[in-house]
Amino acid sequence: MGLKDFFKDRQLKKAEKLQNQVALNGNGHDIKTPPPICDDVLCALWTKCQSCKELLYTSELKKNLSVCKSCGYHHRLTAQERIEQLLDYGSFIEVDENVLPADPLNFVDLKPYKDRLKDAEKTSGVKEAIITGYGNINNQPVAIGVMEFQYIGGSMGSVVGEKITRLIEGAIEKRLPVILISSSGGARMHEGILSLMQMAKTASALKLLHEAKLLYISLLTEPTFGGVTASFAMLGDIIVAEPQARIGFAGRRVIEETIRQKLPKDFQTAEYLLENGQIDLITPRQDLKQMMAELVRLHKQNEKKEEYISNGKGAFHEVPLLARI
């Protein structure tokens, strides 16, 4: 037997063995194409932790709010998942869902911006990089905006700025607290200066919210960068971050190349920012809803207290906790 025949024979035997296996398993894979190691079903069953690389049951990971049980890494959530986790079931009402992006500059980079928008909608399932609306958090109404990182890196274009501004204006009208959840690479360069203008626009709207004495909680999640960090994300009355979230303006590599210095290992992490006084607290995902509900409740209580005093009814005596029970 020649070498060529030897290999052909071995290949045939291998195929025969595989065919028997396939018949046993009954999964109907074609003999010419061996079954893939990871087909869609298997991939959906397991998820590899992006930090410790441990294989995790997807269903268990979801049950644990997409936090790795091994290392505590907080995986990115879609805007929809975030809303489901934070708000009371079925209470969310979306607004301004039909404010859609345009292409005022006819921008083309590797592909036209118009095509990029269509692709982004297909892959992310949302029409823009933010979902805004109203809902309840432990039975207390709030105005909420959640960024969707899957849509062109959660970048802020005209629509994101407009939807946030409308949400804030609506909250002022309805006298509701505002919660904005950021996950973004920064301003969307495809819209040039129009994107950058959203920084000033959202910041101005937040000033009006502040003047109306309403609460604004900003939640920073992995990752929050660029024009988003430089505007509304860092203007919260209370700025909260998720553990290990990367938060910054320019990227680490850009800064290192500019200042020609090595930066600390934990630079631009939530923990580093907390240590340096740039954020107020870090809260694990499991406690986020409770913490936010408590903040909203405390603020509301204080508002009532001020109203009571300003109505000339004298000092506000808070009912002791025991008496209330």
- The binding site for Zn ion (CB under 5 A) comprises 49, 51-52, 68, 70-71, 73
> Rounded to the nearest 10 degrees, what angle do helices 285-310 and 79-86 cross at?
60
- Shortest Cβ distance from residue 286 to Zn ion (Å)? 15
Measured from the CB atom, is 49 or 220 closer to Zn ion? 49
Q: Which CB atom, from 73 or from 267, has the smaller least distance to Zn ion?
A: 73
Characterize the bridge pairing of strands 178-184 and 216-224.
Answer: parallel
Nearest approach in angstroms of CB 41 to Zn ion is: 23
Rounded least distance, CB 73 to Zn ion, Å: 5
User: Cβ of residue 240: shortest distance to Zn ion, in angstroms?
Assistant: 22
Shortest gap between Cβ of 283 and Zn ion (angstroms)?
Answer: 19
Say how far apart CA 108 and CA 190 lie, in whole Å.
8
What number of other Cβ atoms are within 10 A of residue 230's Cβ? 17
What number of other Cβ atoms are within 10 A of residue 282's Cβ?
A: 17
- Decide whether 124 or 269 has the Cβ nearer to Zn ion: 269
Q: In the bound complex, what is the minimum distance in angstroms from residue 48's beta carbon to Zn ion? A: 9
Question: Which residues pair with residue 158 across a beta bridge?
Answer: none
Contacts of 18 (CB under 8 A, 6+ apart): 31, 34
The radius of gyration of the chain from alpha carbons, rounded to an integer in Å, stands at: 26
C-beta of 70 vs 302, nearer to Zn ion: 70
Distance in Å, CB of 269 to Zn ion, minimum: 16
Contacts of 147 (CB under 8 A, 6+ apart): 79, 129, 130, 154, 160, 181, 182, 183, 184, 228
State the Cα angle at 303 between 297 and 306, rounded to 5°: 145
Distance, in Å, from the CA atom of 283 to the CA atom of 246, rounded to the nearest integer, reads 14
Nearer to Zn ion, 61 or 172 (CB): 61
User: What three-state secondary structure class fits 222?
Assistant: strand
What is the rounded distance in angstroms from the CA atom of residue 34 to the CA atom of residue 22?
A: 9
Closer of 45 and 52 to Zn ion (Cβ) = 52
Please state the φ and ψ torsions of residue 179, each to the nearest 5 degrees.
-120, 125
CB of 60 to Zn ion, least distance (A): 12
Q: Judged by CB, which is closer to Zn ion: 31, or 71?
A: 71
Instruction: Give the nearer residue to Zn ion in terms of CB position, either 12 or 55.
Output: 55
